Amino acid sequence: MRRTILVILAALVAVIALGSAVVATSGDTSTVTRPRLERSLTTNFANQYADQARIQGRRITPASLHAKAMCDKAGAENNDVGPGGDWNCLMSWTDPEVPMPPEGYGKFELNVHSNDCYTVGSPSKLTGFLTMTDAEGREVTNPVFEFDGCFDPNGDNTPTGVVFPSLLAVASTTITPDAHGNAGVQLTCGSGAKGCAGTIAVTAGDTKLGTMPFHLAEESTQTLQLPAPVPDGAAEVTFTVQMSTGVGPPKPVTLPVQGS
Amino acid sequence: MSATTTAAAPVDTSPATRRHPGALAPLRWEIRKLRAQYRAKAVLIGALVLPVIVVVVIQGQSRPPKDTLFGRFATDNGFALSLLVLGFAAQWVLPLLTAVVAGDIFASEDQHGTWKTVLTRSTSRAQLFWAKTLTACGFAVIVLAVLATSTIVSSVLIVGHQPLTGLSGQTIPAAEALRLVAASWATMLPAMLGFTCLAILLSVWSRNPAVGIAAPVVIGMVMQLVGALGGVEAIRPFLLTTPFEAWHGLFADPRFTGPLTEGLITSAAWCAVCLGAAFVMLRRRDITGG
C-alpha cells in the first residue's frame, strides 16, 4: 500500500510539473479571446433580444438589431485574453422602441470560463429585470437579463474593429469646500477605447471659477481640484464638460455645495 | 465475485476445433463472471433508477440551478434538464461507473489469488488481457446507454419537451433538441472508454480493486480542477476530462465539432498508452503464487 501511495504521489507531482512547464513556456495560449467573445456575444444577444420582443408581442428579427460589441478584460493595461469574471462588453443595437443612452451603448458583464462558455449579465436599464410581463400580462423570466453561451475555440479570431468611446461621469454628489473655499470633484472614466480627455468649465452661481483640463485612462477615477475657491454663500457649482476624447454628460452637471 | 466459475470451462477434445473456441472462450468466461457479479448489477440498476429520482427532485425546485450550463431552463425544459444531468455526470459519475468494473477486473484475480488458475487453462495472457478489456469496455457502453436513456426518457416525460434555447441564443425545435441531446450523451463514450483504460491500467498495476476503482475518479477530479484553472489552459487539450465538454458545440449556431474531433484523439491516445502499459505489465509479471 505504501508503494501505491508513493507512486500516486509521484504521478501527481509529474502532472503538476508538466503543467507548470507548459505554462512557463507558453504565453497567452488561451482560446478565450476578445474577437471570439465579441462575435459570439452579439449573435447570442440578438437572438435573446428577439426572443424577449416575441414574448412582449413585438416582431423583431435578430439581424435588424445590428448588434455590435467591444469587449475588454480587466482594464486598459491587461491583454484581452483568458477566462475570468472581469470581462466587460460594451454593445450597441438598434431598437426603435428602446433608444440607446447618449454614449450609444450598454455595458454587459461577462463571466467567461476556460471551457469557452460564458454567462452574461445585461444592463437592466436597457433590457429589463429578471422577470417581465408578456403580451398576455403574465410574469415570465426575461431571457435577456442573464444568459449563457459558448463559442468555438477554433473560431474566427481576427479583430472585429468595433470601438466605443469611454464614458466620463462626475462621481461626486456634493461639493465640500475646506476653510479656504478649496474643493475637489471626482471624475470616473468607464470602459472604452482611449480613455477620457477634455476640459471642464466650472461656475458657482454667476461667478466663473475657470476651466480644468483632465485626462483619465479608461476604467479609472481621478479627483480634480477646482481652479478657484468656491465663493462664500454659493449654493451650487455647475460643471460644463467639453470632451476631446470619449463621451461626457450632454448637459451641465450641477452639484450642491455642502456646508453653505 | 465469483472468479472460481472459470472451473466450468469447456473441455476441447479435437485439435481442429481448438483454435476457434480458444480465441472467444476467455471473453465468454469474463462476461459470465461479470453477469454473476452483484456489484455490476447494482451499478446498472443505479444507472437506471437514480436519474429518475434526480429529475423528480430538480423539477420540484423553485429556483433553477443557474450556475451550470442549461441549469436556468432545467425546471421547465426536459432537454435542458437532461443536459444538466449530463454536465453533472461528466464530473465524476461516468468515471466511477466504468471504474467499478474496469478497476476491478484484473485486480480481483490478485485479490482471489486466481491468476494461476486462469492461466493454466489453454489461454494466453494476451487473450485473457483482451477478453477482460473488451468486457470492461462493453460494460462501459452498456452503463452509459442505460444512464443516458433513463435520464432523457425521464426528463422528457416528467418535465416536458419544449423547444430549447441553444448556446447562441437560437431556438432549437423539440425534435432536433432530442436528437442533439442523445448525440451529446453519445459523445461521452470516447472519454469514458479512456477512463476505462485508465482504470484497467491502475487495476493491473496496483493489483488492488480499491485503487483501481477509486483512483480513476480522483484523477478525473484533479484533471477537472486543472482544466478549470485560468492560467494553465495550454494543457487542457491533453486532459481526459476535456472531451466531456465537447458537446457544447452541438448546441451553438453555427455548430462546431472541432472539440469533438480533438476529444476523440485525446481519448484514443490515453486509451492506447494506458492499455499498452497495462499489457506490458501483465506480460512481464511473474505469476507464481496465488
Q: Is A114 on the interface with B (CB under 8 A)?
A: yes
Cell numbers of A235, please?
Answer: 449654493
Tell me whether residues B211 and A4 touch, CB distance under 8 A: yes
Percent of chain A predicted with pLDDT > 90: 58
Residue B264 to residues A217, B190, B233, B258, B267, Cα–Cα distance (Å): 46, 6, 19, 10, 5
Q: Do A43 and B168 touch (CB under 8 A)?
A: yes
Cis geometry, peptide bond prior to residue B254 (ω within 30 degrees of 0): yes
Alpha helices (H) along A75-201: 124-127
pLDDT of residue A43 exceeding 90, the answer is yes
Residue A88: which H helix or E strand, with range? Answer: strand A84-92
pLDDT digits (tens, 9 = 90+) for B239-262: 999 999 999 999 999 999 999 999
- pLDDT band of residue A142 (cuts 50, 70, 90) is very high
Total beta-carbon pairs less than 8 A apart between chain A and chain B = 101
State whether A74 and A176 are in the same domain: no
Does the CB of B265 have a partner CB in chain A at under 8 Å?
no
- State chain B's maximal CA–CA distance in angstroms: 70
Does A65 contact B at CB distance below 8 Å?
no
- B145 conformational bin, left if phi > 0, alpha if psi -120 to 50, beta if neither: alpha
Report the CATH number at residue A248. 2.60.40
Q: How, if at all, do strands A207-216 and A168-170 pair?
A: unpaired
Locate the chain B residue with the closest alpha carbon to A49.
B169
Q: Rounded to an integer, what distance in angstroms lies between the CA atom of residue A15 and that of residue A218?
A: 40
pLDDT in tens, B201-234: 999 999 999 999 999 999 999 999 998 887 778 8
pLDDT at B21: 56
Task: Give the pLDDT mean for A26-36.
Answer: 82
CA-angle at A71, arms to A67 and A74, nearest 5°: 155
SS3 B274: helix
Q: Please give the residue that has the higher pLDDT: either B188 or A78.
A: B188
Pairing of strands A168-170, A146-150: unpaired
C-beta atoms of A29 and B253 within 8 A: no
Tens digits of residue pLDDT in A221-250: 999 999 988 888 888 999 999 999 899 888
pLDDT exceeds cutoff 80 at A21: no
Q: What residue segments make up the domains of chain B, in order of their start?
A: 35-284
Query: Residue B42 and residue B95: Cα distance in Å, rounded?
Result: 16
Q: Has residue A94 been placed in a domain?
A: yes
CB count in 10 Å sphere of residue B125: 16
Chain A residue numbers touching B170 (CB-CB < 8 A): 47
Three-class secondary structure of residue A63 per DSSP: helix
* Minimum-distance CB partner of A153 among B165, B211, B259: B259
Residue A20: band (very low, low, confident or very high) from pLDDT cuts 50, 70, 90: low
Instruction: Tell me if B169 and A48 make a contact (CB, 8 A cut-off).
Output: yes
What are A21's three cell numbers?
512547464
Q: Does A86 touch chain B (CB under 8 A)?
A: no
Statement: residue A27 has pLDDT above 60: no
Backbone angles phi, psi at A48, to 5 degrees: -65, -40
| Residue A19 contacts B where some CB pair is shorter than 8 Å | yes
- A142 and A190 co-located in one domain: no
Is residue A38 domain-shared with residue A117, that is, in the same domain? yes
pLDDT over 80 at B5, yes or no: no
pLDDT at B63: 87
Local confidence band at B7 (pLDDT 50, 70, 90 cut-offs): very low
Residue in chain A lying closest to B242 (CA): A115
Q: Do A150 and B208 make contact, defined as CB atoms within 8 angstroms? A: no
Confirm whether A8 is domain-assigned.
no
Beta-carbon contacts of residue A104 (< 8 Å; ≥ 6 apart): A92, A164, A247
Q: Are residues A176 and A229 in the same domain?
A: yes
Helix, strand, coil tally for chain B in percent (to 5): 75, 0, 25
All three cell numbers of B286: 511473474
Residues of A in contact with B169 (CB under 8 A): 43-48, 51, 62, 143, 147, 149
Nearest to B69 by CA among B87, B82, B46: B87
* Contact call for A153 and B69, based on CB within 8 A: no
CB B222 to CB A15 under 8 A? yes
- pLDDT band, residue A5 (cuts 50/70/90): confident
Task: Say if residue A174 is in the same domain as residue A215.
Answer: yes
The total domain count for chain A is 2
The answer to whether residue B236 neighbours chain A at the CB level (below 8 Å) is yes
**Distance in Å, alpha carbon of A98 to nearest chain B alpha carbon:** 20
Q: How confident is the model at residue B1 (pLDDT cuts 50, 70, 90)?
A: very low
A131 and A185 share one domain? no
pLDDT value at A108 more than 70: yes
Q: Taking CA atoms, what residue in B is nearest to A43? A: B168
Distance from CA of A25 to the nearest CA of B (A): 10
Q: Which residue has the cell 497567452?
A: A28
Domain range for A224 is: 168-256
Centroid of chain to Cα A147 = 17
The answer to whether B167 and A117 are in contact (CB under 8 A) is yes
- Maximum C-alpha span of chain A: 87
Cell of A257: 455645495
- Could you tell me if A223 and A131 lie in one domain? no
ipTM above 0.95, yes or no: no
The DSSP bridge partners found for residue B204 are: none
Q: Verify that A61 and A136 share a domain, yes or no.
A: yes
**Percent of chain B predicted with pLDDT > 70:** 92
How does the average pLDDT of chain B come out, rounded? 89
Supply A128's cell numbers.
Answer: 429589463
- Give pairs for A173-179: CB < 8 Å, separation 24+: A173/A255, A174/A255, A174/A256, A174/A257, A174/A258, A175/A226, A175/A230, A175/A237, A175/A255, A175/A256, A175/A257, A175/A258, A176/A257, A176/A258, A176/A259, A177/A229, A177/A230, A177/A257, A177/A259, A177/A260
Task: Work out the number of other CB atoms within 10 angstroms of the CB of residue B276.
Answer: 12
